[in-house]
Structure formats: structure tokens, C-alpha cells
Structure 1
Amino acid sequence: MDDQNKNLILATALSFLVILVWFFLFPPEQQSPEATEPETTISETSTATSPPQVQGEETRTSPDGQLADAVEDAPRIAIDTPALEGSISLLGGRIDQLSLKRYQETLDPDSPDVDLLNPVGTDHAYYALFGWSPGGSLDFEDVPGANTEWQLAEGETLTPESPVTLTWDNGNGVIFRRQVSIDDNYMFTIAQSVENTSDEPIRLAPYGTVARHGEPDTVNFFILHEGVVRMSDGELEEIDYDDMPDFEVVQREGARAEVIDVTANGWIGFTDKYWMTTLIPAPGSAFVSVAKYVEGSNIYQTEARQPTMEVAPGATVDTTMQLFAGAKEWETIRYYQNDEGIVGFVDSIDWGWFFFLTKPIFAVLHWLNSVIGNMGWSIIVLTLLIKAILFPLAYKSYVSMAKMKELQPEMEKLKEKAGDDRQKLQQGMMALYRDNKVNPAAGCLPILMQIPIFFSLYKVIFVTIELRHAPWIGWIRDLSAPDPTSILNLFGLLPFAPPDPTSFLAILSLGVLPILLGISMWLQQKLNPAPADATQAMIFAWMPWVFMFMLGQFASGLVLYWIANNTITFSQQYLIMRSQGYKPDVFGNIRKGFRRSKG
């Protein structure tokens, strides 16, 4: 390989190294939540999609402390399913208390379940509510909203087998009913009806809202999206929390908002790393999708507003909307997409720019885990499959490296003859490659193919909930977390804890897997001819140990993949080089054997 190609590879490797070091030593700053509680409740604005437009205005209620007391004192309906536990407040019919039974905060057996939704008055209030926006002769007092006191008409506890029904009579001849049902997983169905017993037609528009008080705690890592996620007629949009206060002020909203008219299929909500709360109008129906930030209140909202409905005297109209509130399990979300018709719902998982790789990689990993029953071994088998797919390129690469090693003496002679004449040297080397049927670029192809695969697998391990708290063997109880052992306390033999992962000393706290990674990289590197330039040779010699320290705090699943990849690559390269007439040893001495390849 000529000096120009060597310099290109070296520059690429060093750039990658600098980026990793920068993000490890200087991670994005964690945003702290707002310390003060908002003074007003969420906006009840809801704009209909069909003319004439039904337009509301922000409902100003009591200060948030009084509202919190009202929410706390209101009667509640228990929620109890195989996946969820919580309650619905009869004040506004809010779904505002929800925990996930299948997921705990930590690996501690006594760790509490993960809380998803919280009522007003608690830290980081987060809830969903549904209501109607008035039109025509109706006013806000004539329709149910955030502070409506609903009555329980049917049911006692919301379970998959027993829905609950709420009612409210506005006292002017209009009766509202709301039936809430839920499946075995995370999908609520909100079926609402309006019965007009008055002598005049009425017009109104249903809506659903998900609200978060204050900016939530986030992972705040550049490869992960947390914030608004929505699908609008096949187009996915992701909005970060810190971008929402920069929305333009929309007069009809009374807040900063971004509004999209959806003609057929869509959904909108908030996504965290592993959890999501999403409003889903009936597939095939039009609605208005709103992402909103209410200044002063410091409230983030997503809204789905359905078209205006006209109810004749003596008539009843119905409408339905769904609410997903739970874990972003791939199999569950894919079921809702493929079997329930929620278009593009799988894309609510943050697959990233390399989605064309991350999606199939995860699908294969998920299938392997269903067969093997262990994510760690599944990662190793997945590595074997990837290496098998790339083997034709790897074979050409290692054969090319062996042939180029054989041509090294002749290349040195060319350099002596050419002297400072770079053009003459290049022409001579091209002729040498051509006469011996050597492609100098062949050695770079596996590296170029491996980079997007590596990043895709990193993405899969980092964002998918299936890797969260997934054990492998022994001390590796969570493949989404760094190796918990540390060389500083002799891997647990000494009676003191390793440094906190957030401290600078954590970079020295190497676990078993990072050390094995460094050794595997060193062994693999020893099979490759050292660069002719002394500086380049020194840099490449140090790279395994630099990467060992840098990746020490990466997810164990990713480090495991890299160890498996290096081990398989070493084995392939060793065997292929021997087949070409060379007998490499682990110390990097490549001795020509008794036979020499003439191909």
C-alpha cells in the first residue's frame, strides 16, 4: 500500500480516535429540570380540522398548587394489567399515574418499578387527558376538559377484561360518555360519545393531550433522540426538548407551537430512551398534530385534534383515539404496526441514520435471542454471521496483504531508484501491482464495511430495551451497562469500591472485558505488517491500549461484540495467511514458509 493510502487510513483512524476521546472526556452537559413548579395548568386549546374551524382559547384555572390538591383529593380508578399498574383521576379523567410492572429501576431485587406517568403536584408531572373543544353556541363550560369532575358509571378497576365508563352531564342537554379499555400490554383505547338531548344542533371537536411539566431528565447523548416523536402521513419527525421553546409563537395556540395537518395516518407523543407515551387517532383518519411549548408554565405538550363533529338534536356521535403508554418493546410495537394498522409505529424506536442496517441487525439479534435465550451469546453468534457475510471481502483482503508483503523487497528497490521522483515511484508501483495482480485497495474494503456495522450495532445495543438489564455470564448482569469489575480493586478481591463511573478516574477502572478487548486488538494487529514510517508504527502500536481505556465505560454488549469480532478476524487472517505460504506467529514475525503462492 503506498504512502498516500497509508496516510488516508491513518488520518481516518486518528479522526475516529479524537472524536471518541472528545465525547468520552467532554460528554454533553446534563440538563437539570426546572426547580419551580408552573403557575398555570396546560392549555386546553384545540383547533378542528374541518371548516368552519372550532377555535378555543387557553383555559386559565387555579394556581398549580391548588390544582395539585384537587387532583390529589379526586376519586381514582385503579389500573391493573399484566404490564401496568396505576390509576385514572376522575378530575379531568386524567391517565396520570402509571408504573411498568415488567421493568425495575435497577438490578436490585428490591428496586421499585419504573414510573412512567405522574400527576400534577409531583416531580416532573406527566399525564394524558382527553376532552372536547367547543364550537358554535357552546362554551368551555359546556364541554369536558382538564378540570371536569367525571362520574364512574360502569366498572371498578381497569383491566384487560373489564373496561370502565365515565359520564358527565353539562346540565344543558348534552351528555358525554367515555369508555376506557386496555390490552395486556400498553395500549389504551379511549372511546367517547356525545348525546344531544337539547333542541339545537351542537358542534364540537375531540382532542387528546400528553403534557410534561418541566424538561425531564434525559440521557442527553448525541446518538439518542429524546423528546417529541411523530408520524405525519409517512413522514417521521423528531423534536428535542430544547428546540421547542424556539418554536414560532402561533396566535391561535397562545403558545409556541408547530402544527401539521395529517390527512390519513399518524401519531404524536413523547419518547424517552426506553419508554414512550403516544396519541394515536384511528388509522386512516385526519387530525391536526401539534407540538407545543407553553411559556411561563414551562409545559411541553403534544396534541392530536380530531375534526369538528356536528350533533343533531336527539342524535349521538362517537369517536375513538388510542394512547400507547409503556416500554418500546420491538415485538410489541411491531404487532401494533403490522396487526393493528398503526403506520410506521416501529420507527418510534430511534434506529438512527443507518436504519437500513440497525433494523435488520436487531431483527436477527432478537431472533437469535429467542432461540438461544441469552443476549450475550446471541451477540457472539451475530458476530459470526456478520463475519461469514463479509468473508469473501476479508479473504481478498488478507490474500492481498500477504501478496503485498511478498512484494515489499521490490517496492523498496523502486523507492531507491525513484528517489524524490514521486510520479516515477507511483508509476512503478502501479505497474508492480498490475503485473502481480494485487489490488492495494482490497485491504481497506473490510475496514470500510465494518465501520457502519460497528456503529449500527452500537446504536442497537444503546437504544433497544431488549438489551436493558440483559445478563450474559457471571458478573455481566446488564449488557447495556459497562463492565462492573475494576482492575483497581483486583476485580473485587480488595475490599473497596471502584471509582464512580462519572469521575475522571473511571477511565483507569478497567474491567475484565475492556482488558480482553485490548489484548484481542493487540493480537490482531500483530498479524499485520508494521508501517514503514516509524511514527506511524508507534501510533498503531499504541492504538489497542488507547482503545482499551476509551471503551472501558462502553456498554458490555458492544465490547463483547468487538472482542468476538477481533478474535474471529485474528483466526481468519491467521489461517488465510498460512494458506498463502506464510507462517505468522503471535509476536508479529511473518516468516515465509516452504511453499510460496504464485497467484
Structure 2
Amino acid sequence: MQKILRILIIVAMLITAYLLILAWRDDYAGKPATTAPVATQTSSSADVPSAQMTGDVPSVSAGAPADQQTANLISVDTDRYEIKINPVGGDIVYAALKQHNATKDSNTPFVLLENDATRTYVAQSGLMGRDGIDTSQGRAVYTSPRTSYQLNPSAGSLQVPLVYQKDGVTITKTYTFNAGQYPINLSYNINNTSANAWQGQMYAQLKRDNSKDPGLDDKGMLGMATYLGGAWGTPDDPYNKLKFSNFGDGLNVKSKDGWVAIVQHYFVSAWTPSNSFEADFFTRTTGNEHFIGYNSPVINVDAGKQITLNSTLYAGPKIQSEMAPVAEGLNKTVDYGLLWPISKVLFAILDGIHKFIGNWGWSIVVLTLIIKIALFWLSNKSYVSMAKMRAIAPKLQALKDKHGDDRMAMSQEMMQLYRDEKVNPMAGCLPILIQMPIFLGLYWMLVESVELRHAPWIGWITDLSAMDPWFILPIFMGVTMYVQQLLNPQPTDPMQAKMMKILPLVFAIFMLWFPAGLVLYWTVNNLFSMIHQHLVNKRVAREMQAKQA
């Protein structure tokens, strides 16, 4: 029992240290400088020191300046998006996700991309190079047949064309939105009707400032553990994270089927180049703005010819089934950490249960039961050992009274008693050791899975991914933990007995800020364990009585 107590204390200390590290990082580690970008409807341009571009256009040799003017934004409305496109550059400067509310109690959609006085986060693309229409002096100003587009569900898709014409070259930049889908298709058609060959490169990038992750506004204390930064992947190297602080070091990667992204809690935006060319991935930082994107190889369009370049933008929730077809490894932005194999299996089972039950909370209850059944054999051996320890507790107390302070003699007789009674005192540690990886894997699964964001259970639990607002579940969990202790053999040492009584309170306090779904799992697990242990205690007691008779 002393070893079990030590393990419980070590677990409590580790959780405490983990929470303190998170709190320190939130308060002191690398807080970004406060920025206040000016709201504008025009794309910014920056100077080009020597050959390195530091603004909205990647590093290229500057060509002739493109026309630039203030223009009205183009609105796009689909079943999944509210989109605004800036005709200057043709960038997506606003994207609200209609199927995800900003907060649990709001009816406004979650805004992923925006460019205003509080935050800069946009998806940009263009044509650069010798004859490129996007340069350090300005961006191309497109025209469009309409300023407002709406997807007709019966049509299945919606195309938003943007046209730029100059010197006999017509550039048609087209966004295609598909009903029921987050991936946005982008195409550049370069139609060269001039007498000269056209040369340039396509680029696509994400630009973001140092503003905080808006997805954490209603997540409480432990929301700060999630990742905000860049990521990229290729078929040979599917998932890599890159902190904003490392963007200035650059990224020297070439890929034909890769992706670049900015990742935040629950949501991601990512560009994937066409597999028709090998793209160069890049990152850079300019002031308080961070860029991650790709450049195509140099494209040549002979006079009288045309060419079409394609790319895909994913800007939405981190739903693995929807990201996986976009690019290999993009679904790994649902980052479960070191215990990802456990988290992935748990989510697959939980998702399967949810398809039948329709409620994530009750799905967690069923998942807990499945885990208990899967671990029944080990748990049963552990409970039998603890029941035998409980039965021989009077004999252990007698040995303590007999030997007093002679710990050596007492330990020798205790070990002999364990052998005679076929009791393994360490067997009681098994449930704790086995449950901790599952517990941590479930924690990261609940933290990272957008499917559980704002998912209700019953009554006051309206968001399983957030803390219990009334602390009812953590308190009840502490009660179940205390009752479960009463079913276990009690320590013979008075100090250890007091520590064991305090532990349920300590764990209940820890659980106050954990996601309600995780506390629900632990509470239901305690209830199932109590029933199991009670039945085992009764059976072992009968066997011990029969043996003595």
C-alpha cells in the first residue's frame, strides 16, 4: 500500500508541475508585441531591400508596378463560408465558418481569416517574376462581374472569376466553392494573346500577425496548452511544426504533393500546390507578420498560348476525414502529441459510438465501459490482490504491534505472509499505471478534436471540451475516488492514512480546470471500478472465510 501511495503522490506532483509549466509559459514565455494593424481594403506592399522581398510578395526580381487602388470587397456566401475577397491582389481577407459559432453562447460564426484593426490573418496568392502582375510596388487589381456571389445548393458548386488584362495578356483568377466542402479550389488561367512570351511564377501564402488564438477565448485555464504556429508536410515527411519565432530562418523544402499551413486550436488554413509542378516552400517574418507559402517554378507561356495553374486552400475546422483527401499528412495537424496512437484509437472508437448514439457525452460513458471491459483481466487481478490485502490487514497490524520499531524483522515477516497468502502488494498499482496513458491520451483527444467543441452532454454540461462551469463533475469525481479508497486496504501508518484521505481532494481540485469530458470519463471509470471492486471484495471475503473454516 505504501508503494501505491508513493505512485499516487508522484502522479499528483507531475500534474502539478505540468500545470505550473503551462501557467509560466502563458505568463512569461515569448509574449508577442502588441500590434494594431490598420483596417484597409487594399493589400500592403513593402520595399525590396536588395533581392529579398519582405512584404506580401515573395522574393523575386521586381517587375513593372501593377495598378493599385482602393476597391470594394467581393462577398461570397456558401453553406459553409462567409468569404470576402479583395480585388486588389484577389486575396481572401475574411473567412467565417458558418457551422461553427465563435463561442458556445453566441450565434455569430467563428472567424478564421480576417484583416482589421485587431488581427491580420489572410490567404494570399499571385503571379510574380519578370512579367508577374504582383510586385513590390503593388498588386494587380482584378475586376469581377459581380460584387456578391451566393452558392445555390442545387448547383453543387460556385465559381468566382477575377479578371486582369494588360498588354495582351488576360489573367483569370477563379475561386471554386463546393457545397458541403471546406477545400477551395484556386486556378490561374494565363492567356497570352500578345506577340511576346510571358514569364512568371505562381505563389500562394498565408500571412498572420502575432495576435492570440481566438479559439481559446472560452476554453479556460488549460486551453493554453494548444499549438499556434506554422506547419508543413510532404509525402516523404508528412507532418512538421514550425514556430513563428523560427519563420525568419526560412524553409528550404521542395515538394510536388505537399502542403503549408498555419495551425491553431481546432482550426487550420493550408495551401496545397498542384501536383503538376514541384513547389518551393518558404517562410519569413517581416516585422510582426509571419508568412508561410510556396512558389511554383518559372512558368513560360508562348505568344498565342495559354496555361492553367491550380492550387487548393483548406480553411476550416481540423476534421480529419475532410483534411485527409486534400493532402497527405494534413490530417496530422490534429496533433495528439506523444500519445497519438492511443488518442487516435480512442477517437476512432468514440466517433463510431457517436454515430449510433448521437451524443458525445453518452459516447464517452460507453467508451469508458469498453475500456473497462478491455482491461478487465488486469483490473480483476489487481482488485483480487487488494481484496486479499484488505483481508490480511489484521495480521499485518499484528506484525507491526509485535515488532514495533524493528522494521527489518517486520519486513521479513510481512514478505513471508505475502508469500503464504499468495498476495502481491504491487498488483494494486496496475490500474493506476495502465489508466494514466489512457487518461492523458483521452485528454489530448478531447483538447484537439473539434468534433467535441461546444458538444453538450446533459443539463449544465454544454461543452465537453471546456471545464465544468459549476464544478459538479470534479466534486462528484472526488467523492467517488474517496468511496473507492474505502474499498481498498488502509495503510497501517497513520500519516499515510491521512495522505490517502487528502488525495481525492487534491485530484478533485486538479480536475476543476480539466475538460468536462475528461472528468466524465474519470468519474464513470471510478463508478465502474467501485462496482467491480465491491463484487471482488465480497467474493474474496467468502473464499478467505471458507479457507479458514
2:449 pairs with 1:449: no
Q: Is the 8 A contact 1:92 1:144 kept in 2?
A: no
- The whole-number CA distance in structure 2 between the counterparts of 1:597 and 1:449 is 34
- The whole-number CA distance in structure 1 between the counterparts of 2:157 and 2:6 is 64
Alignment of 1:182-581 (within 5 A): 182-184=177-179, 185-217=181-213, 219=216, 221=223, 223-232=225-234, 233-241=236-244, 243-244=245-246, 247=247, 256-283=248-275, 285-295=277-287, 298-333=288-323, 337=324, 340=325, 342-408=327-393, 420=406, 422=408, 432-485=417-470, 511-581=471-541
Gaps of 5+ in 1: 48-53, 248-255, 486-510, 583-591
RMSD of aligned Cα (Å): 3.4
Q: Is the 8 A contact 1:38 1:299 kept in 2?
A: no
Q: Is the 8 A contact 1:154 1:166 kept in 2?
A: no
Q: Is the 8 A contact 2:232 2:260 kept in 1?
A: yes
* Shift, 1:41, TM fit: 3.2
Aligned residues: 522
Letter in 2 for 1:240: K
Q: Is the 8 A contact 1:90 1:151 kept in 2?
A: yes
- The whole-number CA distance in structure 2 between the counterparts of 1:484 and 1:142 is 50
Letter in 2 for 1:526: L
TM-score (normalised: structure 2): 0.85
- What residue number does 2:54 align with? none
Higher relative contact order (CA closer than 8 Å, sequence separation 6+): 2
- What residue number does 2:10 align with? 12
- The whole-number CA distance in structure 1 between the counterparts of 2:46 and 2:291 is 9
Q: Is the 8 A contact 2:361 2:456 kept in 1?
A: yes
* Shift, 1:200, TM fit: 3.8
- The whole-number CA distance in structure 1 between the counterparts of 2:131 and 2:310 is 22
Q: Is the 8 A contact 2:62 2:136 kept in 1?
A: no
Q: Is the 8 A contact 2:277 2:297 kept in 1?
A: no
Q: Which moved more, 1:460-469 or 1:139-148?
A: 139-148
Gaps of 5+ in 2: 52-57, 217-221
- What residue number does 1:151 align with? 143
Q: Is the 8 A contact 1:283 1:342 kept in 2?
A: no
- The whole-number CA distance in structure 1 between the counterparts of 2:254 and 2:194 is 33
Cα distance change, pair 142–459 in 1 and its aligned pair in 2 (3 A): closer
- What residue number does 2:110 align with? 114
After superposition, the C-alpha distances for 1:13-51 in whole angstroms (9 at most, x for unaligned) are 342353366368767228476244389936699x9xxxx
* Shift, 1:222, TM fit: 5.5
Helix, strand or coil at the partner of 1:346: helix
TM-score (normalised: structure 1): 0.78
- What residue number does 1:28 align with? 26
2:123 pairs with 1:123: no
* Shift, 1:259, TM fit: 0.9
- The whole-number CA distance in structure 1 between the counterparts of 2:493 and 2:266 is 48
Q: Is the 8 A contact 2:256 2:275 kept in 1?
A: yes
Letter in 2 for 1:364: I
Helix, strand or coil at the partner of 2:423: coil
Q: Is the 8 A contact 1:32 1:217 kept in 2?
A: no
After superposition, the C-alpha distances for 1:220-250 in whole angstroms (9 at most, x for unaligned) are 8563111112213334112333x23xx5xxx
* Shift, 1:389, TM fit: 0.7
Letter in 2 for 1:320: N
**Percent identity at matched positions?**
30
* Shift, 1:387, TM fit: 0.9
- The whole-number CA distance in structure 1 between the counterparts of 2:250 and 2:134 is 28
After superposition, the C-alpha distances for 1:508-564 in whole angstroms (9 at most, x for unaligned) are xxx322221121111111111122222221111011122223322322212211111
